[in-house]
Structure formats: C-alpha cells, structure tokens
Amino acid sequence: MAKDYGEVKLFGVVGSPFVRRVQIALELKGVKYTFIEEDLKNKSDLLLKYNPIHKKVPVLVHNGKPLAESLVIIEYIDEIWRNHPFLPQEPYDRALARFWSKFIDEKCLPPISKASFTACKEERDKGTEESLEALEFLENELKHKFFGGETIGIVDIAAGFIAFWLPAIEEAVGLKILTHEKFPKLSKWSEEYTNHVVVKENLPQRDKVVGFFKARYASIINASK
Amino acid sequence: MAKDYGEVKLFGVVGSPFVRRVQIALELKGVKYTFIEEDLKNKSDLLLKYNPIHKKVPVLVHNGKPLAESLVIIEYIDEIWRNHPFLPQEPYDRALARFWSKFIDEKCLPPISKASFTACKEERDKGTEESLEALEFLENELKHKFFGGETIGIVDIAAGFIAFWLPAIEEAVGLKILTHEKFPKLSKWSEEYTNHVVVKENLPQRDKVVGFFKARYASIINASK
C-alpha cells in the first residue's frame, strides 16, 4: 500500500473471539498494527480511557482515535482500507450482511453460552435447542464457499466464533451442536474458514482455548453444588 | 425526486418505537410508502414469510425484497436515498454513529424496560440506576442541536425512544429518569426532536401510548400478586 494510513493499535486479549475478529480483519486487509495485551483482571488506564462505556476489548486506536465494538470496528476498517471488501457493494446485500452479523451476536452466541456454561441442565437443554434453531438459519443462508461469496466477508468474520470457538467449547463441556449430519454446509464452511491462510495464523492455540473453557465449566458446576 | 426507486412497503404497528424509527427515516427522505398494519396477536402470512427469523415488525419491503431490524433498515434507506444523510461522511464519525445507535439499543432500552415493567421493586431500582448511568453517557455525547449535528441523524432516530416513549412510560408508571436537572442537554434535545416538523407528524398519540403502558404495568403488578 502506497498511502500511509498512520498508526494502528489494537487493545485485546489473546483468547477473545471478538478481538480475533478485528485481528483477522486487519490481517486480511494487510494493515500493520501494534497489539497491546490487556489483563482483564487489572485493566489499564488507557483501556478505561479509550472505552469508558463498556471497559472491554477489543479497542482499535487509529491515529489516536479509539473505537469499540468489534462489528463497528470491522465496518470502520472496511471503510478506511478499501482492498478486500468485507461488505458487498449493493445496498440490499450490505444490509443483509449487517443483518446476519447482528443475528450471530444476538441469536447465536447467547444460546451457545447458555447451552455450555449454565449449571442447570434444563437451561442447558433449552440453550442447545435454541442454538440448533439459530444455526439452522445460518445453514440455509450459506450459498457459496463463504457467507461473503468466494472471499471472506463481515459475516464470516462475525461467525468465526462458530467455526473455531464452538467446537472447542463442545470438546470442553461434552456438547454436540455443530455436527456434519445436522449442518453439512456450516461444517464445511467452518473447515474452509479456519483453514484459510490468514485466519489460521490468527487463531489462538486450540488446546489453550479448550483448557480455558474446561476450567470455566468446572467452576460453574462447582459453584452450583 | 426524479429517479423512480420503485415500491416501498412497511409492515408495522402504530405504537412501536422501532416501526416509528423507520417511518421517520422514510418521511425525512421524502420516500412514498405503503404502511401495512400488522396484528401482532395474529401475524400475517406475509410478515412470517418476510421475517421468518424474528417474526417481528418493522419489515421494509423494497421492490419485493424484505429487510428486518430497524437500524439495519435505516442504514439501507440512507444508502438508497442520498438526500438528508443519516450517517456522517467521515468513516470515524460513521463508526461513532453506529456505536451510539447500538449503545441505545443495548444499554439504554433494556434498563429502561427493567425500571418500568418489573414487579420486583429491587429490580426496578436497579433498572433506574442503570438507566441513569446509560443516559449520562448520552448526555455527554450531545454536542449540537441533534446527535447528527444540525440535522437529524441515525442516532437521533434511534434515540427517539428516549425522547417520546420514555416520558410516556414515566407518566404511566410514576417513574422519573429523564429530568431537566439531571439531563439538561438530553431534555432539550428531546423537545427539539419531538417538535421537529417531520417527527411530530410521525409519532403516535401520546395518550394512547400512556394508556398502553399503564395497562402493561398494571398487568405485570397484578400478575405478581
């Protein structure tokens, strides 16, 4: 890239699917950035200054200007760096991409969390059922190699949680949601996505993620006893 | 407008703040549309066909293509009809507009609902406290006549709930959140917004809204006895 877009910093933690969304977006665009690792138990003054509302990662700081919320950041990145577009060109297709990204955050992630990290078995079963229902909509939406067509788009990046973190959670807590039988297209997409050269290099170590979720599950079950 | 943009239909209900967002957006742009009133207790086949996922209003149908989620619809409208832009030009300002719209839906509306329509007094108090905290952030964000500057933008349209529905809820349930003392800028904005000629003509009848919330509150309190 000839044009100088200035300084890019990303405040994050290594295991977070939301931080990884932004990292993958930056890497797909070929943007050079500095990763600043946060300790969520002892958040830095800078993080609290940059994201006083949510006090969460990821925070992108571009030429000193901070921005929070992974999907908002990804659209921003897409508007600044125009190579490898994450959103389609046509307004209706752009709207659908926004709709599905929102759907993933609001309708897929909460039930997956409920199915995985709740002590009450009934709640877990309800979470599983809701997760299956939500993923069924995504399954039917997959019409190409990626949600974005032949290349990775914003919906793929948003759905990265389902491709990588969900299978790790399933292993950690003994759950089965994303099966080849029920979701052949989504399972194939999950493989394609996690094996994409840029994505693969920007995912955390699977065994560490599984270990993290195992510990989280154990602490929830123990606390309920 | 010389260009013919085709047929626009909006599926909605009269009292919904989310449907009103879309109506106000269409009216500000000068878009002609047909309003199709839904009975939420007996949803039409068309609504279920157009929004099989959420089964909710508003749904915008533009030349036969359906779209759900009020904020997604507003960005779509803004991309099709370019007069009276709802989002700023600069990518960073656009990102902030998306951030604040999301903030309103995720951090303002849920606590206001908790403060107003919960039987448990402790929960209501907690909701009030969270609402005050969230509105404080909005108060500090208001730097011009509107969130959008001198004209109404997407954040104003999203925050319409706070300008019109919140005071109606306060009256219905005997709550005080949006006061001139605590929120002088937001209170002034609320007046400016609801008195804007296009907005004013596109709000439901206040007494009906108050009556609706009174009945809702009474049914929640009665159910808890």
DSSP B11: E
DSSP A149: B
Q: pLDDT digit string (tens) for B133-188?
A: 999 999 999 999 999 999 999 999 999 999 999 999 999 999 999 999 999 999 99
User: In CATH, what number does B8-80 get?
Assistant: 3.40.30.10
Quick count: other Cβ atoms within 10 Å of Cβ A173? 19
Q: Which of B33, B127, B24 is nearest to B74 (CA)?
A: B24
Cβ separation of B72 and A107 shorter than 8 Å? no
Where in chain A do CATH 1.20.1050.10 domains reside? 91-224
Which residue's structure tokens are 């292993």? A171
Domain A91-224, CATH number (from 3.30.420.40, 1.10.3720.10, 3.40.50.12280, 1.20.1050.10): 1.20.1050.10
CA distance to partner chain A, nearest, from residue B132 (Å): 13
**Cα A210–chain centre separation:** 16
Q: In chain B, where do the E strands start and end? A: 8-12, 34-37, 59-62, 65-68
Where in chain B do CATH 3.40.30.10 domains reside? 8-80
Q: What is the pLDDT of residue A185?
A: 98
CB burial of residue A150 (10 Å; 0-12, 13-18, 19+): exposed
B5 touches chain A (CB under 8 A): no
Residue from B3, B72, B86, B96 whose CB has the most chain A CBs within 10 Å, to mutate: B72
Which chain B residue shows the shortest CA-CA distance from A79? B91
Whether this model's ipTM surpasses 0.90 comes out as yes
Residue A141 CB partners (closer than 8 Å, separation 6+): A100, A147
Interface of B with A in 166-185 (CB under 8 A): none
Q: What is the spatial distance between Cα B63 and Cα B32, in angstroms, rounded to a whole number?
A: 13
Q: pLDDT digit string (tens) for A173-223?
A: 999 999 999 999 999 999 999 999 999 999 999 999 999 999 999 999 899
Q: Write out the DSSP string of B147-166.
A: TTBSS--HHHHHHHIIIIIH
pLDDT band, residue B220 (cuts 50/70/90): very high
Of A79, A99, A137, the CB nearest to B72: A99
Cβ separation of A75 and B95 shorter than 8 Å? yes
Where in chain B do CATH 1.20.1050.10 domains reside? 91-223
CA distance readout (Å), A88 to A26, A79, A96: 18, 12, 9
Q: pLDDT digit string (tens) for A66-120?
A: 999 999 999 999 999 999 999 999 999 999 999 999 999 999 999 999 999 999 9
Q: pLDDT digit string (tens) for A37-57?
A: 999 999 999 999 999 999 999
Q: What is the pLDDT of residue B67?
A: 98
Cβ separation of A92 and B137 shorter than 8 Å? no
DSSP A216: H
Specify which residues A35 forms β-bridges with: A10
Domain B91-223, CATH number (from 3.30.365.10, 2.60.40.420, 1.20.1050.10, 3.30.70.580): 1.20.1050.10
Model confidence at A2: pLDDT above 80: no
Model confidence at A14: pLDDT above 80: yes
CA distance to partner chain B, nearest, from residue A47 (Å): 17
Q: What is the pLDDT of residue A63?
A: 97
Q: What is the pLDDT of residue B5?
A: 87
Q: What is the pLDDT of residue B2?
A: 46
Q: Which of B19, B18, B22 is nearest to B86 (CA)?
A: B22
Q: What is the spatial distance between Cα A185 and Cα B38, in angstroms, rounded to a whole number?
A: 35
DSSP A196: S
CA distance to partner chain A, nearest, from residue B188 (Å): 23
